[in-house]
Chain A
Amino acid sequence: MLIDREGLQALIDALAGRGYQVLGPAVRDGAIVYDSITRVADLPAGWTDRQEAGRYRLERRADGALFGFAVGPQSWKRFLHPPIESLWTMRQGDDAVTISSAATTTPKFAFLGVRACEIHAIAIQDRVFQQGPYPDTSYAMRRHDAFIVAVNCGEAGGTCFCVSMQTGPKASSGFDLALTELLNGDSHHFLVEVGSKAGAELLEQLPHRAAADAHLEAAEAVVARTASQMGRSLDTDGIKELLQSNLDHPRWDEVAERCLTCGNCTMVCPTCFCTTVEDHSDLSGTSAERVRKWDSCFTLDFSYLHGGSVRSTARSRYRQWMTHKLASWFDQFGTSGCVGCGRCITWCPVGIDITQEAAAIRSTPNAGKGEQHGRS
């Protein structure tokens, strides 16, 4: 099916009408972030991003594409797995202590403009939070109600490598509706693919028409062009074994000299899920609250044990993050933890590039082990 700009506005209105909080890309503070969207005009029309290791700039496009950029510093995890969440409060009465779980009303989210890599990232977090022995019930509620409108990328970012990770650029499943932007001079349409019953029902409400073969071909061409523009690549062949057998590789020392352990990568990464809990109490000591917050394995405190941290050096913390993302994640959840979105490369203040680090270790496996002994 095909819709135009009016159809897109109708889509936003229909979702809002059904009680969804519609979230989509918007320009703010020099970046494209996810914010509430009420009008098509709220979207970043005519904007694109120039991304490189440690660099992110917005630039004006020659055309008025609504989705002509890659991904920004935020990911959808900030809605599904919020940065701060109250878990419970406790009150100490005269004879008894009472505990009450945090209020569990969550808004229904509609995500407009979810990229293929982001769909995979959401699926990865689904596995983390819902497939263990203790599923996260608040995540499950937010996730269950979420309506996903995917967008197939028309432009690869400078640090993208979804092709290597087999997570894009085309969204193949995990959405209610998927749009491919077709912009040709004055003609501005969106090819719509239906991914679920809810998506089909919503599409029925919108002004739409059948797509011609030419539209289908154009959409395929958009995706193919994006796939050929990848800024990075990562050889995933045997990467788990490669990293797990090179835990003492000298490359870890090299990257440690650059890494500031600032944790930006973990904040922008759409799959990083680590949290901490904080126990607060008021001055009278009669009420207490536990709050869960995002945390990063790069902090010194993260692995605190018996008076010190298990991972006290930057070397060990960078190694932990990268081997978790590309190797241990397979042991834990059956897939890679990386979707090739490139955010960690773009937002690292010193431009450390996970694809470069992996390639360096791959090119000199078992380095640092020295010569062999004499055999006579």
Chain B
Amino acid sequence: MAEERAVSAIDDLRGRIDEIDAELVRLLNTRAECALAIGQAKQIAGLNVYQPGREAEVLAHVQAINTGPLDNAAIRRLFERVIDEARRLERLADLQ
């Protein structure tokens, strides 16, 4: 019985993860839309795609509000990837 309960708990948790992932994807795309809008504004303002000061602020912010269990280094690495992809999106938009 204990094994059955454990298996059913895993199924529930996996369902929950799928829901969270769907929400994450939605949020990441909403974030990407913001980044694209900023990219267009940067182009009009004649600013570079790469703004290291702003990227540092973003990374500092997400680490400051982090409550775990992911440690700050892990949060930093995850958001570095988010930023890398946003920058790529801005570059591709620039080409069009």
**Is B truly associated with A?**
no
